[in-house]
Chain A
Amino acid sequence: MRVLLLDNRDSFTRNLEHLLVAAAGADVTISAHPQAADVAAQRWDLVVISPGPGRPCDHPGYGPWIDGGTPLLGVCLGMQILNEHFGGTTEPLPGCVHGRAEPVEFLGRTLRVARYHSLHAATVGSGLEVLARTRSGIVMALRHTERPLLGFQFHPESFLTEDGGSLVHSALCLLGLR
């Protein structure tokens, strides 16, 4: 499986790469900018939008990737970029949660997942459905109801996340890649 990992100058991108290789045997290419022509010209089985600093509007250029038809997973900022693409909004998260794990119910299982975010998906874009929330109602996972597009607010690649490999496997199933 050929995976293109689009990096938003984040410090967890390499962890995500190692997780994708370990959990899915993926062949991962990391690209620093979503508009790089040499990566856009190739065919990919999966596109992943990395976490990163700032708000979705600080990272333009993802539209063609989201609309391009290739299955896509957005992590943290990547999920917020996906959500805003469909008209959802991003707001400050009261208190912020950084470097903490908490149990979240996802696809019928409860797993401890790592959270690193100052912002959250306050309203959900059209055509998207929420797959997981925290106990206090913060969106933790969402997907498009008709297209292979999925977002995780939590960080499957963190060492604080319980069984990150199974979360990658679930993502691939939801995206029709397994």
Chain B
Amino acid sequence: MAVPLSTAPFASSVCADAARFARVAGCLARRCDADVLLPGGSGPAWSAGWAAFAPTDELEVTAATTPDDLKHFAFDKPGLVLGFLGYGFGLHLRGVRSVGSTRERLGHLRRYAASVRFDPVAGRLEWSADEPALAAEVQRALAQADQRTGPLGPLLQGPTGPVTASLGREAYEAAVAETLAHIRAGDVYQLNLSTLLRMPVPAVDPAALFQHLTRQRPAGFQALYRPPGMAVVSSSPERFLQVRDGRVLTQPIKGTLAFERFAAGLVERLRDSPKEDAELSMIVDLLRNDLSPHCTYGSVKVERHKAWFRVGHLLHLYSDVVGELRPDRDALDLLLDALPGGSVTGCPKSTALELIDALEPHDRGVYCGTVLALRGPRELDSSVAIRTAVWHEDRRELSYGAGSGIVVDSDPAREYLETMAKARPFLQWAKR
């Protein structure tokens, strides 16, 4: 059932396709610093697109922020909330370590005075604004979206420095070897090991970076989010959790094949690999577990196993795990207890989180957390924040994490190459 977008005095709706919404969102991102969720790609995608601007309320998430604080912010008033919760906030919720040790932002949420919603199924764009000036901005964006846009300006500004990795090839492969020893000892079955790439960049144009990334690699869960002092530019292919009318859906991705030239046989090669099959199956069982505390008994099911899609130069396997949200629970109960998502931790999760904390020299920050859209207690969509660039104004630095799921038959050299394949867009920016 459609929930009214808002009680805003200025609202309207028009027909639009995905390409037009992308142009409208691009205009609003450039002119009004809008935060944007853009559905795209060939696999799972945001169930609705959003471009929202003129923030009215903000919540800076800290170690002192409780689940109740988040619920008050998100649910006390109707309307859209966008934002992110970092991997570190998930660690904090799981009690893995004191968050005092991280300098990374734990999360940030916002409400807005103006927003545009794109419904890909109905092919409609609905917008609302609290003030005439904001309504005029939306109308200007709608008009400009029909004009041809020029080429993108520079994405990164000023002299940039070389890319450094928290775990270079040798260190990454050594950490994979150490992970394999833990797997053989029975501490974990699977562990997602990442490296964090960093590049000194004096300034960025977040809207241009977002447009470049989404043109280059149109993933299902593209997002641009700009809290003060930061820009999150995400091209994630992976859904974390969706709640719609009480129905819960998660779509974990595991099993990856990098290729230079697509060929039909590649899909069979990926689907028939016992290693990739096991990697996905473990995470499916883990996600079933993570849905179960807040879903009705008997409702948690695997509806599609080993579906596939292609994004850029990568093929991925994923599954649909569904459930019915218990009537006495809300979307944040589910999300906060499942954070960080199982596909970026490993299994069993609590041991995997501790081992990752010991093996990785970096804080994951936004990377491997979640970008989310909430509208009331039982309407949520969220991505796993992978393939995500983060610009830190204070450090004048752009970072990008890339990881790989390590299982007992993983080859360290191959896993390192997989992380580099995932970091390809970032490495290409560095060369521009």
How would residues 140 to 159 of chain A score, 1 for a CB under 8 Å from any chain B CB and 0 otherwise? 00000000000000010111
| Other contacts beyond A11-B285, A99-B189, A117-B186: 12, CB < 8 A | A9-B348, A11-B289, A12-B289, A13-B289, A15-B285, A21-B297, A53-B188, A96-B183, A96-B408, A155-B285, A159-B302, A160-B281
- Nearest opposing residue in chain B for A18, CB measure: B292
| Residues of A within 8 A of B (CB-CB), count | 32
| Inter-chain contacts of A119 with B (CB < 8 A) | 186
Of A13, A15, A116, A157, which one neighbours B189 at CB under 8 angstroms? Answer: A116
A99 to B293, CA, bound (A): 22
A155 to B372, CA, bound (A): 33
B184 close to chain A: CB less than 8 A: yes
Q: How many A-B residue pairs have CB under 8 A?
A: 102
A14 close to chain B: CB less than 8 A: yes
A118 close to chain B: CB less than 8 A: yes
- Nearest opposing residue in chain B for A95, CB measure: B408
A92 close to chain B: CB less than 8 A: yes
B187 close to chain A: CB less than 8 A: yes
Given contacts A17-B292, A116-B282, A160-B285, contact A11 B186 (CB under 8 A): no
A2 close to chain B: CB less than 8 A: no
Given contacts A96-B408, A98-B190, contact A11 B349 (CB under 8 A): yes
B41 CB, nearest partner CB in chain A, Å:
26
B248 CB, nearest partner CB in chain A, Å:
14
A129 close to chain B: CB less than 8 A: no
For this complex, 15 residue pairs linking A to B, each with C-beta atoms less than 8 Å apart, are A9-B351, A11-B350, A12-B286, A13-B289, A18-B300, A53-B186, A54-B187, A92-B184, A92-B186, A96-B408, A99-B280, A99-B282, A116-B189, A116-B282, A155-B285
A92 to B407, CA, bound (A): 16
Q: Give residues 150-178 of A contacting B (CB, 8 Å).
A: 155, 157-160
A95 to B183, CA, bound (A): 10
- Whether the Cβ atoms of A9 and B285 lie closer than 8 Å is no
Q: Give residues 320-368 of B contacting A (CB, 8 Å).
A: 342, 347-351
A119 to B262, CA, bound (A): 40
A118 to B281, CA, bound (A): 16
- Nearest opposing residue in chain A for B293, CB measure: A14
- Whether the Cβ atoms of B285 and A159 lie closer than 8 Å is yes
A90 CB, nearest partner CB in chain B, Å:
9
- Whether the Cβ atoms of B297 and A53 lie closer than 8 Å is no
B298 close to chain A: CB less than 8 A: yes
A74 close to chain B: CB less than 8 A: no
- Nearest opposing residue in chain B for A116, CB measure: B189
A57 CB, nearest partner CB in chain B, Å:
11
| Inter-chain contacts of B190 with A (CB < 8 A) | 98-99
| Inter-chain contacts of A71 with B (CB < 8 A) | none
Of A12, A92, A118, which one neighbours B285 at CB under 8 angstroms? Answer: A12
How would residues 1 to 26 of chain A score, 1 for a CB under 8 Å from any chain B CB and 0 otherwise? 00000000111111101100110000
A42 CB, nearest partner CB in chain B, Å:
21
- Whether the Cβ atoms of A98 and B187 lie closer than 8 Å is no
- Whether the Cβ atoms of A15 and B288 lie closer than 8 Å is yes
